[in-house]
Amino acid sequence: MRRIGILTSGGDAPGMNAAIRAAIRTALKNDLEIYGIEDGYLGLVQGKIFPLRYKDASEILTKGGTFLGSSRYPEFKEDAIQEKAVEQLRKRGIEGLVVIGGDGSYRGAQALMKKGVLCVGIPATIDNDVKGTDKTIGFSTALNTICESVNKLRDTSSSHHRCFIVEVMGNKCGKLALWSAITCGAEILINREIGFNEHQVMAELAVHDQFRKKRHALIIASEKLLDIEALAKKISLETSFSGRAISLGHIQRGGSPTPEDRLLGSMMGREAVEVLMKNENNKCICVKNDQILARDIDEALNEKDDSYAQMYALFRDMV
Ligand SMILES: Nc1ncnc2c1ncn2[C@@H]1O[C@H](COP(=O)(O)OP(=O)(O)OP(=O)(O)O)[C@@H](O)[C@H]1O
Ligand SMILES: O=P(O)(O)OC[C@H]1O[C@](O)(CO)[C@@H](O)[C@@H]1O
Ligand SMILES: [Mg+2]
C-alpha cells in the first residue's frame, strides 16, 4: 500500500482531529502518502481530495470539530453513488481508506469494502452507540460538557426549589443520558431503554420532595422522546417544585476534547494506519478494557453490549 485516504463522516465529535493527526503522522513516518477528503462521503463522491502534509497535523490536537469537515449524505446508500466514490479513489491510486464516524458511517465503509476498497473504521460519535468498542471518540468530551452545564443548573435549582429537565443528545441510544445521570447526580433518568412514564416521574418527584427533603431535582432526559416543556409545566402544577426545561443541543458536540478523547484519537488513528499498512480489510478499531484492537467489522457490530445494564444498576443504586 502506497497511498491512503482519510475522511470524517456523520455528526462531528471532539477528538476526531486527534485521530486525523495520528493517522497523518503515522502514514508519513512510514512513507505512505495520505490524502484528506473533505466533508465525508459527499466530498469523496465530488472528488474533494487533497494531499496531507506533516504541517496539516499541527495545531489540531486540541481543537473540537473536524478540520476535514463532515456531512450527512443519505444518497451514499445508493449503489451508483458508491461506484462514483470508488472511481474517485481508483483514479488517484488511493488503495486504502480510514473512515472516522459513527454506526452510519461504518455502513458506508462496509459498502466500499464490498466493492474492493480496503477500509478501516474508527468509532467517533458523542452517542457511544458503535458496537464492539467500549468507547467512541467524543463521548468523554460530551459527557464533560453536560456535567459542566448541569453543575450550573443545580446551583440555581437549589436556590429556587426547582426541578430541571435537561435534555441531552444520543440519538436512539440512551448511553449519553445514563452516563450523565450518574455523573451529574440526577434524581430521575428518562431514556429510550427505560421509556417515559409520566405517572412514575411524578411519584418519584414526590418522594424526593416529601421524604428526602430535596431542595432541587434533576431529570436527565434523552432527546426525541418527550415534550420537555410540557412536562415542566405539569411538574409546576402537580408538585411543589417549579418545573423548568432546557435542551443542551449542539453545545454537546463542540469544545476542546478531553485528555481521554485526545488519547483515544491518537491511539486509534495510529492503529488504523498500521492496519492498512498490513493490507488488512474489513476492520474497525475498538477499545476493550483499555486495549486498542483491530477487529473484524461484522463481528464487532454483531457483538452484544452489556455495559448499559451494568451502568443502569449503578444509577439505581445511587438514587
Ligand atoms: N446504510 C448505509 N449505506 C451507505 N452509507 C451510509 C449508510 N448509512 C449511513 N451512511 C453514510 O454515513 C453517513 C453518516 O451516517 P449517520 O448520519 O448515521 O452518522 P453516524 O456516522 O452514525 O454518526 P453520528 O451518529 O455521530 O452522527 C450518512 O450520511 C451516509 O452518507
Ligand atoms: O447535527 P444534526 O444533524 O442535527 O444531528 C443531531 C444528532 O447527531 C448526534 O449529535 C450525533 O449522532 C445525535 O446525538 C443527534 O441526534
Ligand atoms: Mg450514529
Backbone angles phi, psi at 205, to 5 degrees: -65, -35
Q: Tell me: pLDDT of 212 over 80.
A: no
Confidence tier at 215 by pLDDT (50, 70, 90): confident
pLDDT at 116: 94
Helix axes 307-318, 175-184, angle to 10 degrees: 30
pLDDT at 65: 98
> pLDDT by residue (tens digit) across 187-204?
999 999 999 999 999 999
Q: Tell me: pLDDT of 233 over 90.
A: yes
> pLDDT by residue (tens digit) across 20-50?
999 999 999 999 999 999 999 999 999 999 9
What grid cell was written down for 50?
Answer: 487533497
CA of 286 to the centre of ligand 3 (A): 16
Angular region, 54: left φ>0, alpha ψ -120 to 50, beta rest: alpha
Three-class SS state of 16: helix
Mutate to test the pocket of ligand 2, among 42, 66, 169 (most ligand atoms within 8 A of CB): 169
Instruction: Over range 48-67, report the average pLDDT.
Output: 97
Q: Structural domains in the chain?
A: 3-138+257-304 (3.40.50.450), 140-254 (3.40.50.460)
DSSP tag of 250: G
> What are the respective helix, strand and coil percentages of the chain, to the nearest 5?
50, 20, 35
pLDDT at 162: 96
pLDDT at 214: 81
What grid cell was written down for 299?
Answer: 463481528
**Atom of ligand 2 minimally distant from the CA of 72:** 3
pLDDT at 275: 98
Q: Tell me: pLDDT of 277 over 80.
A: yes
What grid cell was written down for 233?
Answer: 409545566
In whole angstroms, what is the distance from residue 86 CA to residue 67 CA?
Answer: 23
Q: For residue 172, which ligand has an atom nearest its CA?
A: 2
**Atom of ligand 1 minimally distant from the CA of 41:** 31
pLDDT at 179: 98
The gap between the terminal CA atoms of the chain, to the nearest Å, is 54
Backbone angles phi, psi at 22, to 5 degrees: -65, -40
Helix (H) or strand (E) holding 166: strand 162-168
214 is in an annotated binding site: yes
Q: Within 6 Å (CB) of ligand 2, which residues are found? A: 11, 72, 102, 125-127, 169-171, 223, 253
Closest CA to 160 of 244, 231, 227: 244
Mutate to test the pocket of ligand 1, among 83, 107, 126 (most ligand atoms within 8 A of CB): 107
DSSP tag of 205: H
> pLDDT by residue (tens digit) across 103-144?
999 999 999 999 999 999 999 999 999 999 999 999 999 999
In whole angstroms, what is the distance from residue 144 CA to residue 141 CA?
Answer: 5
Q: Tell me: pLDDT of 210 over 90.
A: no
The question of whether 227 is a catalytic residue gets the answer no
**Atom of ligand 2 minimally distant from the CA of 102:** 12
pLDDT at 199: 95
Residue owning the nearest CA to atom 25 of ligand 1 = 102
Confidence tier at 213 by pLDDT (50, 70, 90): confident
Alpha helices in the chain (DSSP H): 16-29, 40-46, 79-91, 103-114, 139-160, 175-184, 198-206, 228-238, 259-277, 297-301, 307-318
Please provide the average confidence, as pLDDT, over all residues in the chain: 96
253 is in an annotated binding site: yes
Is-contact 58 30, C-beta < 8 A?
no
Confidence tier at 211 by pLDDT (50, 70, 90): confident
Mutate to test the pocket of ligand 2, among 9, 70, 107, 127 (most ligand atoms within 8 A of CB): 127
Angular region, 281: left φ>0, alpha ψ -120 to 50, beta rest: beta
Going by C-beta distance under 8 Å and a sequence separation of 6 or more, which residues neighbour residue 250? none
Q: What is the ipTM of this complex?
A: 0.99
CA of 209 to the centre of ligand 2 (A): 34
CA of 11 to the centre of ligand 2 (A): 6
Instruction: Over range 264-275, report the average pLDDT.
Output: 98
